[in-house]
Amino acid sequence: MGRQTKIIKECINQNKLLKKKKLSVQTFSNVSIRLNDKYFTIKPSGVLPEKIILKKCPIIRISDGKKIAGSYKPSTDTPTHRLIYKKFGEIKSIAHTHSKYVTAWAQSGKSIPIYGTTHADYWKSEIPVTNFISQKDLKKNYEANTGNLIIKTLSKKKLNPFNCPGIIVSGHGGFSWGKNNTDAVKMSELMEFVAELAYFTEQIKVKKKLPKYISKKHFERKFGKKSYYGQKN
């Protein structure tokens, strides 16, 4: 099995994993994986993960979005994925979900505040929510401009994809990403868990927000220059 075929197979498995982890209902969600600097593969539109046929999977050119292989029609969210890959060369995988708690926050139009260290272990700040896409941008190219909206939100908040591994699109759902083929789904799972914790925290009512120095410490011990979490290679 060649390298490209292995990556496409992994993409199918990651789409199955979204469903297994209950981050996806029917065909609402999708995972893509970068094949190399020029191309990526993505879940086909409207096909259940367990029904995907490997040889039919679409391969998309990052520079212009053209499908260069595969008989399946790619996910309707393909232009969103493409623009994120084009902007951030370090991103190797992207997941888009309509999971319960993340989507509830999206529908509320609210960012998820840092209420505890579980959140701060992976996100440097709140999990941001974008503005609603404008009617003009929706009519021009809805999915591509959703990608632009995500990129603009990260830039406006002075964040990058690796101190903010997931974002919420207002009224829509979540997008997450990672540095390898499996990180996007992992971050989707973490974002859903953080969203659920934040929801219950607000039901209980917050007495005090987590102090900035604690959230900073938790993020930096994993990802800072002097990080010490985990095993040394």
Instruction: Quote the CA–CA distance of 137 and 126 in Å, as a whole number.
Output: 26
- In one-letter notation, the amino acid at residue 178 is G
What are 75's two structure tokens?
A: 């996910």
Residue 55 · residue 12 · CB < 8 Å? no
Assess contact for 145 and 126: CB atoms under 8 A: no
Helical axes 183-204 vs 3-20, angle rounded to 10°: 20
Q: Tell me which of 37, 39, 121, 213 is the catalytic residue.
A: 121
Amino acid code (one letter) for 5: T
Is 137 among the catalytic positions? no
Q: Which pair of structure tokens corresponds to residue 130?
A: 């974008």
Cβ pair 115, 198 in contact under 8 A = yes
Q: Measured on CA atoms in the order 66, 71, 77, 78, is the torsion positive or negative?
A: negative
Marked catalytic residue, from 39, 101, 137, 229: 229
CA dist 19 and 212 (Å) reads 35
Residue 101 a catalytic site member: no
Q: Which residues are catalytic?
A: 121, 229
